[in-house]
Every structure is written in structure tokens, then in C-alpha cells.
Amino acid sequence: MVRVPVAATTAQAPDRRRRTAVLLAGASAAALALGACGASKASGPVGAATGRAAAPARAQPIEVVASAYPLAQLVSYVGGADVRVVDLAGPGTRPAGLPMDAERARLVRSAQLVVDVGDGYQPQVEQAALHTRHHLALLPAVSPHQARPYEFWLSPTLMSAAAAEVATVLSTLDPTGARRFDNGRRDFQSVASSVSSDLESTFSTCSHQVFVTQDDAFGRMASAFGLTEVAVERTGVASAVATVRRQSLGAVFSDGAGPSRQLLQVARQAHVRVVPLDPLEVAPGPVAPGLSWFAVMEEDLTNLEGPLACNTSGSFA
């Protein structure tokens, strides 16, 4: 298992985020390593943001299958050494609409707990999970009556709620570990709260409240902080170009896989640059460094604040 020192990823962040950087230094997450048949295995950190002491773990970790990389990170963090987590998608694979092959079906059947997104994000996975011993669909639990955009993990508030759901179900499976799971939940929520404060304090100072992306992955995060995301795949190229010109935007945003053809058309026609944002869907390969959820959120904030003309000079140091 490789531990990623998250503080290194925030070393160039503005001074106003030093408070979060201190917390992140204690919240380094496991980079998911390549496992059998393309799946990824992760185990959670024993220490955490608030300095909880390591406690004796159960003799046999709870076997958990998570249907997407950010969910695997969340379960690993809350469960610590008491869980062994498999990311069902695996490195380099987009989890949306993930097909169920024989190996994935075997992993789901053998898991003590299956954690998925729910609400139709992965229909085949969700169908298979119905026949498992324990199943937790997180999106309906934390944000009912609203499916798309599915990427609820880009909202610190919803991820905090998801951490509570995970801690509850793990405690049901192992009541003797309830205190440890609750500690993991509180530690995760502590750093998520600081990340949320960073987002709020930054976006409240921005001259632009609209940003253009290639899909709607950041819609939940945007609406939570008073921003509007315009997704090219929904509005079309011409409408997106008009938005860029009308709002005098200096950039458009691609996702982790690189800019789509439509987004590149928008950038060329509007004469603006393309800036990357990571929707944190795809697990890195065995060679690529793995960043924690916390670190990716701060990195995305850094990439957004310049093009949105945010004034962070008066923020906390």
C-alpha cells in the first residue's frame, strides 16, 4: 500500500488554505493498488485528521466492494484497518454504466457489503447488488429525489452525509468496531468541513459565477456554492460559446480524461484556454500517483479560482 502525503499536493495553495493543509497532512489516503482481474484494493488510513489513535482491528476485515473509486476511498477512510475494499471498476475504467463480467459478479457475490452510487448510475451493478447480503446505495441515501448529476462525491456536504451512512452500516456488520467507525466518520467529516469552508470562502469572492465544462459532473458542487455549471454535452457547442463570450470567461474546463471534441471546439471558437478539473471518477493506474479525495477537491478549487477571477487576498491565512 502506498500512502500519499497530501500536504505535498497543497504546498502551492494560497495562504488562506493553510488550515486545511494542516488537516490534510494527517489525512493522507491510500492510493488504490492494482489488484486481480482489473479490480483495485484499498485499505484505509489508521491515523486521521483529528489525530485518532490506532486501535486493534478485527481479526478478519470486512470485505467491501465499492462500485467507484471515490466510494472506495470513503469506505477505506471510515473503516480503516477493519475493512478490505475492492474498487469494482478498477484503474483507468470509468464507473458510469459499468458492465458486470464474470469476475465482477464473483466479487459482488462474495462481498459482505456492496456500496454503490445508486439511482441508475450503474444498472448492472445495482441489479447484482440486490441479491447480496448487505447493500448500501449512497446517492438515494444522501440526496433523494435527484439523480443526475450522479457525482455527489464532489459535494463535501453530501460526502459528509455519506460518511455517516457508511459508519452506520459498518457498525451493523461489526458492533464491536462501532467506536472506531464513528471515529473514522468524524475524522472524515472534520476535513470535509474544512474543504467546504475553503470552497465557500473562495467562490463567494469570484467575479464570475458561471463556468463551462464538457459534462455536468460538477453540477452539485456548483449549485451548493452559488455557481452555475454549463455543460457542453447538454447545451451544445454554439450555446456554450455564446455563454463564454457573454460572461467574458477566460477558460473552459475539461475532465480527468482530457478535453472532449466538443469542448475543444468551444475553446477554439471562443479563443479561450482549456483548464483541467478532476471529477474523481477513475482510479489511477499502478504507476500514477493516487491523490486522496481531499487533495483532489483542493486541487480543483485551485484550478477554478483563477478563471473565475476569485479574490482570495482577504481570506484566512
Q: Do 260 and 294 share a domain, yes or no? A: yes
The whole-number pLDDT of residue 45 equals: 38
- The average confidence (pLDDT) of the chain is 83
pLDDT of residue 288: 58
Residues 153, 263 within the same domain:
no
Neighbour-count burial of 63, counting CB atoms closer than 10 A to its CB (0-12 exposed, 13-18 middle, 19+ buried) = middle
Per-residue pLDDT for 164 more than 60? yes
Is there a single domain that holds both residue 177 and residue 220?
A: no
Question: Among 195, 222, 238, which residue terminates a domain?
Answer: 195
Give, as one character, the DSSP assignment of residue 38.
Answer: G
Q: Are residues 155 and 39 in the same domain?
A: yes
Last residue of a domain, one of 195, 211, 233: 195
Q: Which long-range contacts (CB under 8 A, 24 or more apart) does 162-166 make?
A: 162/71, 162/74, 162/138, 163/74, 163/77, 163/78, 163/188, 163/189, 163/192, 164/189, 165/136, 165/138, 165/141, 166/74, 166/75, 166/78, 166/79, 166/115, 166/136, 166/138
In a shared domain, residues 191 and 237:
no
Whether the CB-CB separation of 138 and 162 falls below 8 Å is answered with yes
Question: Residue 135 pairs with which residues in a beta bridge?
Answer: 114
What backbone torsions phi and psi does residue 116 show, to the nearest 5 degrees? Answer: -130, 175
Read off the pLDDT of residues 278-294 as tens digits, 9 standing for 90 and up: 999 888 776 556 678 99
pLDDT higher for 4 or 139?
139
Grid look-up 482481474 returns: 37
Whether residue 79 is predicted with pLDDT greater than 60 in this model: the reply is yes
Q: What is the pLDDT of residues 169-209, one digit of tens each?
A: 999 999 999 999 999 999 999 999 999 999 999 999 999 99
Q: Does position 249 have pLDDT exceeding 60, yes or no?
A: yes
Pair 155, 236 in one domain: no
Alpha carbons within 13 A on the beta-carbon side of 250:
10
Claim to verify: residue 45 and residue 190 sit in the same structural domain:
yes
> In the structure, what pLDDT confidence band is assigned to residue 145 with cuts at 50, 70 and 90?
confident
**pLDDT for position 282:** 87
Q: Look at residue 222 and tell me if it is in a domain.
A: yes
Print the domain residue range for 285: 201-305
Q: Are strands 210-213 and 228-231 parallel, antiparallel or unpaired?
A: parallel
Say yes or no: 35 and 181 in one domain: yes
Is 136 inside any structural domain? yes
Residue 188 CB-half CA count within 13 A: 35
pLDDT at 311 (0 to 100): 86
Q: Is the dihedral of CA 141, 143, 146, 150 positive or negative?
A: negative
CATH number of the domain where residue 237 is located: 3.40.50.1980
283 DSSP β-pair partners:
91
Q: What is the pLDDT of residue 57?
A: 63
210: Cβ–Cβ under 8 A, 6 or more apart, which residues? 227, 228, 229, 230, 243, 247, 249
Q: What is the reported pTM?
A: 0.83
Look at residue 115 and give its three-state secondary structure: strand
